[in-house]
Structure 1
Amino acid sequence: MGSLFLICHYFYQAPKYLFWLGLGYIVPSFSLAAQSFMSNSELALSAPLLGGMYLFGAWASAYAMALRKKGHAHSYWCLGLIAIALLLLSYFSYVDNQLWIRMLILNSTIATVESLVLFSIFKNYQNIDIFNKIVDFSYFFIVIYTFTRSLIIYLFLSDIDADMLVTSVWWLIMLAASIFLSMWFAIVLLGTLVRDIIHKLNDERQKDPLTNLLNRRGFYEKAKSVLSYTSQDTHFLLMCDIDHFKQINDQYGHLIGDSILQQVGEIIRENVRGQDLVGRFGGEEFILLLKVKDQYHAYAIAERIRIAIETKRLSVSKISVTASFGLAQIVEQDFIRAIGVADQLLYSAKQSGRNCIGLDCTQMISTALN
């Protein structure tokens, strides 16, 4: 599992925390493999080294979780705890050989190191989805289990001989629980990571790479979803087209043109509400889905955007641009028809001198009468 984390990080550009989590799995596994082939005397001699590998694994896992949540791993505190634990392991290996005390020191220190990151994990608990909550609680249960393992060692394995340890029921239960929890945590974390990657790919599929707005496909999908869930609300479609954009590209170049598209997209995004959809329809044309009370409110938003574009000096060349608009109500959830109407109204605005908003006058009169 640790190797899989490293492969995801190095070959598939997965998040950096997987690198440390991979080490958190791999390094202790080498320690566990090594001690499986050692005699009791060799175990006592190598206890500080093997214990250090376990402790490094605990810190690497905690550090990975801190990176994942953009939190604080308290690495200096961890380093201090690990140093003290290694000194105690050395004493109870070379001076007073006590196996159960070494196990108690090691497990309690691992639990403490892993627990230092818990505050960062649950700091914004309410703002995460169910899958990430499962990952967080899985880590929390691992920490609780490690503390419980220390308590079991203190209560049931004190003064146990090394030869009898491997046949102890408590030792076998702890070993099985450790394997199960480690595998479970890795599986749910990988599952969440795959889910996040799929969401990211889907998001990139729906986004325009230049303006970071929805592209035409993404806007269609989002708009249809919004209209299906809010069928009783009033929605308007607003088409926006930058005036004389070809002349800008011809005079200043396409890099300046791209910069203007990005800034106009940002202006539009700043002048709508969170519930509104904004997309780049293609070229220099933008499209908005507005959930408003009536056409007057929709017109107010369009006029606010028009004025913001007109008064802003764009790109490094401080170019002044204007935009024309077409505003149409979506009637009976007929989204495609509304696009055609808004596009025709946009064309009328262009014919009327540009830098204005084309409206469906029949809808305006009907709204006024109502």
Structure 2
Amino acid sequence: MLHDTGQFLALVNPAMAILLSLCFLLAWNHERTRHYLLELGACYLLYAVAITLQIIWQPRNDGGNATVTGALYLGSAVLMLRGMLARIGARVDTCALVSLPLALFAALAWFDFMQPQLVARICILNIGIALILLLGIAPLARLRTGSTADQVLFWVFLLFALHFLPRTVLTIAPVIGQDAAALTRSAYWLWLQVTMALLLLTLALALLAATTLDVIDGLRHERDTDPLTQLHTRRSLEALAAREIPPPQGKPLSVLLCDLDFFKFINDNYGHSAGDAVLAQIGRIIAAGIRRRDIAARLGGEEFVVLLPDTPPDAALHLAERLRQTLESTEMDVLPGMHTVTASFGVATLRPGEDLEALLMRADNVLYAAKNKGRNCVEWEREAGLPVLA
């Protein structure tokens, strides 16, 4: 009776693994660019097949059961590791990832066919799976500095990998002197499977939660990032500016507006694809020329803005001039005969009680003054008493 009940309850384990595998495969079907979901789905499917075979395929004297199920377990561990690493764009040494499972498989086959030893197979399989998973701990350590979901995922994965070491002892202790069939008929074996199921479920939930946050972050990035220049959109600028305005007491905040000169001429004479290439290069130049905390955005068309927290007027003015000179001296390969583009800049500094819209309006007025002055220059609010650039 215990045997029949144990087998029935043990089948809950592969059933749960199949369900989790379907969750990963459905997620991959929705997010085809996240290939790691396919590997994780295959990982849980292999595990489900392995544990099912172990339950229904009773060991024989001539071997075979342990070799087949062991190969499936090892393959599942490799897929788990590959999926975890692929999610963060990391890799592990290919030689180690191939040679270690092959060596473990060969050892399992030896102690299954040539010198049948249950204890040896238990040690090889459990310690081997732990070693395979631990190959990824170094690259996965970066998750500890990520989001809460990433941190939880790292520690759950580490616990899952390390638990195979005490599991080896816990599995061996009650079966010394017994055969494999006796182990699979015991209540103790059922308990081991239940603990494995709980750990696999916890790891799967952590992975699915992290994946959900990945998708949300991807959608947020798509919403907040201009696809052409990779700078912030106006909506993103407004959201980020709300955190900076009003600035801390006594801290200045400045803004610079940049508008490309004669951009319509570029589109009309070189085509919109050339114009897009110019805008993309301008975006890279601006992103490379500002600080990490500065907020650069494309307002639309050929107009750009950079919000400069903790930046006094003179520092903002010098940044604008430096960007102007960089643009003027950068060759545009897509513009034969013209080669370079120029831009006009307007600089303004936040006044007490002012919001982003008012600040941008004043900067826009200054920008028009730069255009009227002849373009390819930097203008600022002269009443602010800023020094004139030499």
TM-score by length of 2: 0.86
In structure 1, the residue matched to 2:66 is 47
Is the contact made by 1:99 and 1:161 (CA closer than 8 Å) also made in structure 2? Answer: yes
3-state DSSP class of the match of 1:214? coil
Pairwise mapping of residues 119-198 of structure 1 onto structure 2 (< 5 A)?
119-122=138-141, 124=142, 127-166=145-184, 168-198=186-216
Distance in 2, matches of 1:84 and 1:104, equals 14
* Equivalences, count: 366
Is the contact made by 1:99 and 1:159 (CA closer than 8 Å) also made in structure 2? Answer: no
Deviations along 1:259-279, one digit per CA (max 9) or x if unpaired, are 221222222222221121111
Distance in 2, matches of 1:183 and 1:198, equals 22
1:350 paired with 2:368, answer no
Is the contact made by 1:249 and 1:256 (CA closer than 8 Å) also made in structure 2? Answer: yes
In structure 1, the residue matched to 2:118 is 99
Please, which of 87, 92, 96 is the counterpart of residue 73 of structure 1?
92
Distance in 2, matches of 1:148 and 1:84, equals 22
Letter in 2 for 1:305: L
Distance in 2, matches of 1:6 and 1:242, equals 47
Q: CA deviation at 1:352?
A: 1.8
Pairwise mapping of residues 315-326 of structure 1 onto structure 2 (< 5 A)?
315-318=333-336, 319-326=339-346
Deviations along 1:189-235, one digit per CA (max 9) or x if unpaired, are 11111111111111110111111111111111111223257465211
Gaps of 5+ in 1: none
Distance in 1, matches of 2:379 and 2:97, equals 65
Distance in 2, matches of 1:220 and 1:281, equals 11
3-state DSSP class of the match of 2:385? helix
Is the contact made by 2:255 and 2:360 (CA closer than 8 Å) also made in structure 1? Answer: yes
Is the contact made by 1:292 and 1:298 (CA closer than 8 Å) also made in structure 2? Answer: no
Q: CA deviation at 1:127?
A: 4.2
Deviations along 1:123-160, one digit per CA (max 9) or x if unpaired, are x4564333212111111101111111112123333223
1:210 paired with 2:231, answer no
Distance in 2, matches of 1:323 and 1:84, equals 63
Letter in 2 for 1:235: L
Q: CA deviation at 1:358?
A: 2.4
Please, which of 292, 296, 300 is the counterpart of residue 278 of structure 1?
296
Distance in 2, matches of 1:43 and 1:182, equals 32
Is the contact made by 1:309 and 1:321 (CA closer than 8 Å) also made in structure 2? Answer: yes
Larger deviation: 66-75 or 296-305? 66-75
In structure 2, the residue matched to 1:294 is 312
Q: CA deviation at 1:178?
A: 0.6
In structure 2, the residue matched to 1:268 is 286
Letter in 2 for 1:324: S
Larger deviation: 277-286 or 247-256? 247-256
3-state DSSP class of the match of 1:15? coil
Is the contact made by 1:104 and 1:153 (CA closer than 8 Å) also made in structure 2? Answer: no
Larger deviation: 103-112 or 282-291? 103-112
C-alpha distance 337-43 of structure 1, shift in aligned 2 (>3 A): farther
TM-score by length of 1: 0.90
C-alpha distance 53-336 of structure 1, shift in aligned 2 (>3 A): same
RMSD: 2.4
Please, which of 96, 101, 104 is the counterpart of residue 82 of structure 1?
101
Distance in 2, matches of 1:87 and 1:215, equals 56
Distance in 2, matches of 1:219 and 1:18, equals 33
C-alpha distance 82-295 of structure 1, shift in aligned 2 (>3 A): closer
C-alpha distance 42-194 of structure 1, shift in aligned 2 (>3 A): farther
1:330 paired with 2:347, answer no
Larger deviation: 272-281 or 69-78? 69-78
Letter in 1 for 2:284: E
Q: CA deviation at 1:35?
A: 2.5
C-alpha distance 20-231 of structure 1, shift in aligned 2 (>3 A): farther
Is the contact made by 2:144 and 2:151 (CA closer than 8 Å) also made in structure 1? Answer: no
Larger deviation: 311-320 or 75-84? 75-84
Gaps of 5+ in 2: 1-19
Distance in 2, matches of 1:128 and 1:274, equals 18
Is the contact made by 2:143 and 2:150 (CA closer than 8 Å) also made in structure 1? Answer: no
Please, which of 78, 81, 98 is the counterpart of residue 62 of structure 1?
81
C-alpha distance 210-164 of structure 1, shift in aligned 2 (>3 A): same
In structure 1, the residue matched to 2:15 is none
